[in-house]
Every structure is written in C-alpha cells, then in structure tokens.
Amino acid sequence: MALVQRRDQEAFTRLLDRHLSALQRFLTRMTGNAADADEVCQEAFLRIWSHARQWQADRVRFTTWLYRIARNLAIDRHRKHRETTEQDMTTIVDDAPDSSHALDVERRQRLLKGALAQLPERQRTALVLCHFDGMSNQQAAAVLDVSVDALESLLSRARRSLRASLRPAFDAQET
C-alpha cells in the first residue's frame, strides 16, 4: 500500500488481485446481487486509488480500511436504491430425482438471502463478515468501528432475528 500511495500502478494491480475476490463475495452478500456488488467493488477500489494517501498503516490495517470503504459505499447505494424490484425466479422443474432436492436447496438459499436483507445494516454486516467471510470478531469489530463486545451483541441479535424470521418458513415446510 505504501507503493500505491506513491501512485505505483503495478502495486495497485497486485493489491487488486489479492483482495478483489473476497471483497466481491462480501459485497454480493451485502447488496444481494452480483451486479451491484461489482459496481460497489469498482467504486471502492477507485476510492482506494484516489484516497491512498489518507491510509495510515500505523492506525488501521489495509483490509479493515478497504472493507469499511466498501461497506459505506454499499450502504449509500442501498439508500439510493431502496425501491428495487424482485427478479423473476423462473424455475424449470424436470422429472429427475434430484430436482426436488435442488429446488429445496435453492428455496432455502432464497429464504436466507431475503432474511439477511431484512436485517438492520450493522447486524447484516457483522454476520456477513464473521460467518461468511471468515473474519475474526476483532477484525469485524474494526471494520464496523465498534468494540468486540458490541460486535458480539450485533451477532447475537442478528442470529436471533434470522431464527425468528426463518422459523415460520421452515416450520411450514415440515408440515
């Protein structure tokens, strides 16, 4: 990152190669779709390039800074585009024995994605960072700029909310 601060384009390319995939996965979970995630990811790396001199190695890890920028951009995008329409989920059902299982898995994933989208932004971010992106509680707390105790509280509330919102759908499936 020190080289990027001196406008070294090769160093920026290496930084991009190293962090792009993980950031796209994080943003896909945060925004709910790959297209929005790609746009936010591009904007985040543009910000890294244009604001490189603001990063201070002695104050924050690069990944923390990157995820904080990306998270804020995703929040801004969500606020601007609150009125999004659901894409048609057309499923072709065939007679293959595994098709019902595949549909069940797809249905569960859609339910989880919808439940995640309904969580308050800070709870969703905490859950995505810790459970999907594999960050430690300490790393995720740094991204959210909260204490580890506050992060654990966010995680607990997020899990409770997910259980409450998903329970009716799964209870109905069992009957």
pLDDT of residue 86 exceeding 50, the answer is no
Please tell me the distance from the alpha carbon of residue 18 to that of residue 83, in angstroms, as a whole number. Answer: 34
Residues 74 and 84: beta-carbon distance below 8 Å: no
Q: What is the CATH number of domain 1-85?
A: 1.10.1740.10
Q: Where in the chain is the domain with CATH 1.10.10.10?
A: 98-175
Q: What is the pLDDT of residue 49?
A: 94
Q: Determine the pLDDT at residue 170.
A: 64
Task: Name the pTM for this structure.
Answer: 0.62
Q: Give me the pLDDT at residue 53, please.
A: 92
- Vertex 120, ends 119 and 123: CA angle to 5°? 85
Whether the predicted pLDDT of 98 surpasses 60: no
Q: Mind listing the pLDDT tens digit for each residue in 104-157? A: 677 777 888 888 888 999 999 999 999 888 889 999 999 999 999 999 999 999
**The predicted structure's pLDDT at residue 90:** 30
Which percentage of the chain shows pLDDT scores above 90? 50
Domain ranges in the chain with CATH number 1.10.1740.10: 1-85
91 pLDDT more than 80 = no
For residue 7, name the pLDDT band (cuts at 50, 70, 90).
very high
What percent of the chain shows pLDDT beyond 70?
82
- The pLDDT of residue 76 is 83
SS (HEC) of the chain: CHHHHCCCHHHHHHHHHHHHHHHHHHHHHHHCCHHHHHHHHHHHHHHHHHCHHHCCCCCCCHHHHHHHHHHHHHHHHHHHCCCCCCCCCCCCCCCCCCHHHHHHHHHHHHHHHHHHHHCCHHHHHHHHHHHHCCCCHHHHHHHHCCCHHHHHHHHHHHHHHHHHHHHHHHHHHHC
State the CATH class of domain 98-175.
mainly alpha
